[in-house]
């Protein structure tokens, strides 16, 4: 009888309680971060137009919840059939950013597609599209992933095209994020990590040369290294964020009592919202936010490991590391552990495109968890994609 490494699979077997626990915890922590985000968005703009900001985020959140439930209710294997289509749409959206009157520029970057006042960030959709494409590829060629051609060269071609379009927007943060996530997925798919030495060296070298010839990014690097010397210039935002975190103490100044949001921390409702959380709700709340993201990553890893096939394992791994890495980078930037990258904090920062995509990703994880509960009609696969008999 065919079975997985843990033992034979019985048709109609009851769901595993650890999986139910993982899904319950995932939903709980995501909902908690969503609720905190809505409260903090209103607090950030309560002296300006907090109601309007909150209303827009609530609308995006509602659409995101609908997308999450819809995806969670379907079989995640359906993404296999549309992987190519999603990738093509992502490329078209990234190219549309370059079209006059369609692409929308802000803060020196051209990252949004606009239509009658509606703005959508193309790179957000590209995140999910690339992960689905990588998962499909790793599942399709799993036996050949240890080779240089299938494991490195081909993924670098179709992944590099999408990342290149994001890079020239310019959006260095998302480019680095997706490059790391793609690398993790390839390693999970079976590519030996030693094969990343040369591509990694070339990528880091190319990034270094690009930053060296980019005066604005060079200033950001120097302001990160010498924050005190640049606190009144390029490092102003990071320095004020550190003051906000420090002034909050253990339990904060109280909800709505932030001083740094009064024009001292630019973009405090988006990339630097964690600094306002730390100031108003304190160190304890900040730690709880970090713990929540760690819990989400742990749940995602558990769901991915229990996926019934290679595609589910890769898809879940990619989504889990996307959420975890984006949160890690944002928290690192706000605490000045990393230079400014311009990435929002998942589920909390203001931004409809990111919220919609992140909630859709959660729906995919729930779908993978649901698919791992029962026997499939085809032979079961182990995590390495090989059949075992019992």
Say how far apart CA 258 and CA 47 lie, in whole Å.
11
Reported confidence tier of residue 266, pLDDT bands at 50, 70, 90: confident
pLDDT of 139 higher than 80: yes
Q: Residues 6 or more apart from 54 whose CB is under 8 A from it?
A: 38, 41, 42, 45
Tokens of 274: 């964690």
Q: What is the pLDDT of residue 201?
A: 86
Q: Measure Cα distances from 136 to 32, 78, 90, 131, 349 in Å.
A: 32, 11, 16, 9, 30
What pLDDT band is residue 119 in, cutting at 50, 70 and 90? confident
- pLDDT over 50 at 9, yes or no: no
Q: Which residue has the higher pLDDT, 388 or 154?
A: 154
What is the mean predicted confidence (pLDDT) over 336-348? 89
Contacts of 287 (CB under 8 A, 6+ apart): none
Residue 382 has pLDDT above 60, yes or no: no
Per-residue pLDDT band for 320 (boundaries 50, 70, 90) equals very high
Average pLDDT, integer, range 84-105: 86
Average pLDDT over residues 304-308: 92
Contact by Cβ (8 Å): 154, 138: no
Q: Phi/psi class of residue 108: alpha, beta or left (left: φ > 0; alpha: ψ in -120 to 50)?
A: left
Structure tokens that stand for 61 in this block: 């959140």
CA nearest neighbour of 147 among 186, 201, 204, 200: 186
Question: How far are the Cα atoms of 38, 49, 157, 343 from residue 44, in angstroms, in the given order?
Answer: 10, 9, 42, 18
Structure confidence at residue 44 (pLDDT): 82
Average pLDDT over residues 250-257: 90
Instruction: Say how many C-beta atoms besides its own lie within 10 A of residue 279's C-beta.
Output: 27
CB atoms within 10 A of CB 387: 11
pLDDT of residue 87 exceeding 90? yes
Cα–Cα distance measured from residue 265 to residue 244, given in angstroms and rounded to the nearest whole number: 8
Distance between CA atoms of residues 61 and 163, nearest Å: 27
Question: How would residue 71 be classed by pLDDT, with cut points 50, 70 and 90?
Answer: very high
- pLDDT tens, residue by residue, 213-229: 777 778 778 788 878 88
Banded model confidence at residue 3, pLDDT cuts 50, 70, 90:
very low
The string of pLDDT tens digits covering residues 287-299 is: 999 999 999 999 9
pLDDT tops 60 at residue 14: no
> What are the φ and ψ backbone dihedral angles of 36, each rounded to 5 degrees?
-60, -40
Rounded to an integer, what distance in angstroms lies between the CA atom of residue 9 and that of residue 383? 15
The most confident of the ranges 24-28, 199-203, 269-273, 368-372 is: 24-28
Residue 278: pLDDT band (50, 70, 90) is very high
Cα separation, 379 vs 309, whole angstroms = 10
């Amino acid at each position: 009888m065919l079975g997985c490494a843990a033992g034979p699979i019985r048709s109609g077997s009851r769901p595993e309680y650890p999986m139910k626990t993982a899904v319950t915890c995932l939903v709980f922590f995501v909902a908690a971060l969503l609720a905190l985000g809505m409260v903090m968005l209103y607090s950030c703009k309560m002296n300006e137009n907090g109601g309007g900001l909150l209303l827009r985020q609530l609308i995006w959140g509602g659409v995101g919840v609908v997308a999450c439930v819809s995806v969670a209710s379907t079989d995640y294997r359906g993404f296999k059939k549309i992987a190519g289509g999603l990738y093509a749409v992502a490329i078209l959206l990234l190219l549309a950013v370059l079209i006059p009157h369609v692409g929308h520029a802000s803060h020196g970057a051209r990252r949004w597609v606009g239509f009658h006042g509606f703005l959508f960030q193309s790179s957000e959709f590209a995140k999910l599209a690339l992960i689905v494409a990588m998962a499909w590829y790793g599942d399709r060629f799993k036996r050949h992933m240890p080779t240089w051609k299938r494991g490195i060269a081909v993924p670098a071609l179709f992944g590099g095209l999408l990342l290149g379009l994001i890079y020239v927007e310019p959006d260095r943060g998302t480019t680095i994020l997706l490059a790391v996530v793609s690398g993790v997925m390839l390693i999970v798919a079976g590519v030996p990590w030693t094969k990343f030495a040369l591509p990694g060296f070339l990528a880091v070298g190319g990034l270094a040369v690009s930053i060296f010839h980019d005066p604005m990014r060079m200033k950001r690097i120097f302001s990160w290294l010498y924050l005190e010397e640049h606190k009144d210039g390029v490092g102003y935002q990071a320095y004020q964020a550190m003051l906000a975190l420090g002034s909050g103490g253990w339990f904060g100044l109280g909800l709505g009592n932030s001083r740094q949001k009064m024009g001292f921390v630019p973009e405090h409702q988006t990339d630097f919202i964690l600094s306002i959380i730390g100031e108003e709700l304190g160190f304890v709340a900040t730690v709880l936010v970090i713990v929540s993201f760690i819990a989400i990553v742990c749940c995602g890893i558990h769901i991915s490991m229990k996926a019934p096939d290679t595609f589910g394992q890769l898809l879940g791994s990619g989504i889990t590391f996307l959420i975890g890495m984006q949160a890690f980078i944002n928290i690192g930037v706000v605490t000045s552990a990393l230079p400014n990258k311009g990435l929002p904090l998942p589920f909390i920062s203001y931004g409809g495109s990111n919220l919609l995509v992140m909630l859709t990703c959660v729906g995919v994880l729930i779908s993978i968890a649901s698919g791992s509960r029962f026997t499939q009609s085809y032979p079961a696969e182990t995590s390495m994609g090989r059949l075992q008999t019992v």
